[in-house]
Structure 1
Amino acid sequence: MTVHAYDAALFGGTVGIGARPAVVVVDLVAGFTDPAYPPGADLAGVVTATRSLLDRARARRLPVVFTTVAFAPDGVEGRVWRQKMPALDCLAEGSAAVEVDERLARRPDEPLVVKRTASAFGGTGLPALLVSLGADSLIVAGATTSGCVRATVVDACMAGYRTVVPRECVGDRHAGAHEANLFDLQAKYADVVALADLFERLEAA
């Protein structure tokens, strides 16, 4: 199906943003943002853009939630995922690899959701947390676009959250996978926008 065919088939509507969006920063932890780790990549631009987003959100007192992937020593949860992607083995509970990238300056009052699946909604306390924070929509940043970001955005849509993805604030190890998934997310699940456009939406909300 071509891009024009998608348009003709009524894909890619606009969901917008609410009055109290929560920023969910998916897995911008050392294991993914430091190329020295097996699953890592150079995501410096993504981290810088996300820090700009966080500065704006914090100034507006919007909820901010971080996630990390951290596997327990027993290795039971996430066993199949790790079998498929052995690079994830470095993401052990308590290790430096699972710590939020220090450039994002996570604050003590910003929750950290620990997950063992791709989606931040998968078997975690995130759904209840978002309710307690009074979030009416989501802004999703993080890594990777084709993996944990995509899974989180799809589940957010299924949970009834209008979701915006600022394209500068998400990244992947592979440019083709990154672009293909942004295209698909925009067509079916979320508004994929430039960060400057998101800032304009926040000012208008």
Structure 2
Amino acid sequence: MSALDDVRARYRAGGLHGSLTPGRNPAIVVVDLQYGFTEAQYGPGFSLDDVVEATRSLLSVAREHEVPVWFTTIAFPTDGDGIGATWLTKMPALDGLRDGDRSVEIDERLEIRSNERLVVKQTASAFAYTDLAQQLRAAGVDTIFVAGATTSGCIRATIVDACAADIPAFVVRECVGDRERAPHDASLLDIDAKYGDVVSLDDALDFVRGLS
């Protein structure tokens, strides 16, 4: 048994690690796969090519089966820091992510479509100070599959808030990434134990295909 398996076993024995059941009206939420994160030339950026490619596969099948898609991007106003001043103090690398800059645009490899909604945020969570929860409910969404970056930051914050909003959330393992392996692995373990389910890309694709 690996060290992570041992932790999971102790969690289960302590009443953690329950399993969620996806509903029949899912959506895909792609968190912050904007150029500011997918290209290393930008302050917060790092190599996310594998994550982008896996997310392309997820989006392709979702679009084929008419599963709605939401994207998020971090963009601060050009004339100030908006509601994110404290976050910018902690992460000055984000300072260049300003309205109108290329860094806040969704990576073109994901081919965002005109009928897919974009939520602009200034906090880690896709739900904090946005109307994402209301949009999802208005569309009848009962489950979200989440992709994007970073696992220990915006992904984890989004899943915690999805749980608080009573929206079952599934993190697609191959579709999320982080700057370092340790926080990535620890965050997936913690999410899976307490707030959402971590699933493989194959399982997510099989579920979407099965909706037909």
TM-score relative to the length of structure 2:
0.94
Matching of residue 49 in structure 1 with residue 54 in structure 2? yes
2:37 counterpart letter in structure 1: F
SS in 2 for 1:138: strand
Task: Decide which of 98, 109, 116 is 2:104's aligned counterpart.
Answer: 98
Matching of residue 133 in structure 1 with residue 139 in structure 2? yes
User: In structure 1, how many angstroms separate the alpha carbons of the residues matched to 2:101 and 2:7?
Assistant: 45
Deviations 1:14-34 (A, max 9, x none): 102111111000000000010
Question: Size of the alignment, in residue pairs?
Answer: 205
Task: Decide which of 170, 190, 196 is 1:184's aligned counterpart.
Answer: 190
User: In structure 1, how many angstroms separate the alpha carbons of the residues matched to 2:127 and 2:181?
Assistant: 25
SS in 1 for 2:113: coil
Query: Does the 8 A contact of 2:40 with 2:47 survive in 1?
Result: yes
Residue in 2 that maps onto 1:13: 18
What root-mean-square deviation, in Å, do the aligned CA atoms of Structure 1 and Structure 2 show? 1.2
TM-score relative to the length of structure 1:
0.97
Query: Does the 8 A contact of 2:65 with 2:209 survive in 1?
Result: no
User: In structure 1, how many angstroms separate the alpha carbons of the residues matched to 2:9 and 2:192?
Assistant: 14
User: In structure 2, how many angstroms separate the alpha carbons of the residues matched to 1:76 and 1:131?
Assistant: 26
User: After the TM superposition, which residues 110-189 of structure 1 pair with which residues of structure 2 at under 5 Å, given as runs?
Assistant: 110-189=116-195
User: In structure 2, how many angstroms separate the alpha carbons of the residues matched to 1:157 and 1:138?
Assistant: 11
Deviations 1:86-119 (A, max 9, x none): 0000100110000000000000110100001110
User: In structure 1, how many angstroms separate the alpha carbons of the residues matched to 2:170 and 2:8?
Assistant: 21
Query: Does the 8 A contact of 1:28 with 1:47 survive in 2?
Result: yes
Stretches of 4+ aligned residues off by more than 4 angstroms: none
The range that moved more, 1-10 or 42-51, is 1-10
User: In structure 2, how many angstroms separate the alpha carbons of the residues matched to 1:145 and 1:46?
Assistant: 11
SS in 1 for 2:174: helix
Unmatched 5+ stretches in structure 1: none
SS in 1 for 2:145: strand
Query: Does the 8 A contact of 1:16 with 1:191 survive in 2?
Result: no
Unmatched 5+ stretches in structure 2: 1-5
User: In structure 2, how many angstroms separate the alpha carbons of the residues matched to 1:28 and 1:137?
Assistant: 20
User: In structure 2, how many angstroms separate the alpha carbons of the residues matched to 1:16 and 1:41?
Assistant: 33
User: In structure 2, how many angstroms separate the alpha carbons of the residues matched to 1:122 and 1:199?
Assistant: 28
The range that moved more, 130-139 or 21-30, is 130-139
Residue in 2 that maps onto 1:60: 65
Task: Decide which of 21, 32, 38 is 2:37's aligned counterpart.
Answer: 32
How far does residue 134 in structure 1 lie from its aligned partner after superposition?
Answer: 1.4
SS in 2 for 1:50: helix
Deviations 1:141-178 (A, max 9, x none): 10000000110011001111111111000000111000
Identity among equivalent positions (%) equals: 51
Query: Does the 8 A contact of 1:18 with 1:136 survive in 2?
Result: yes
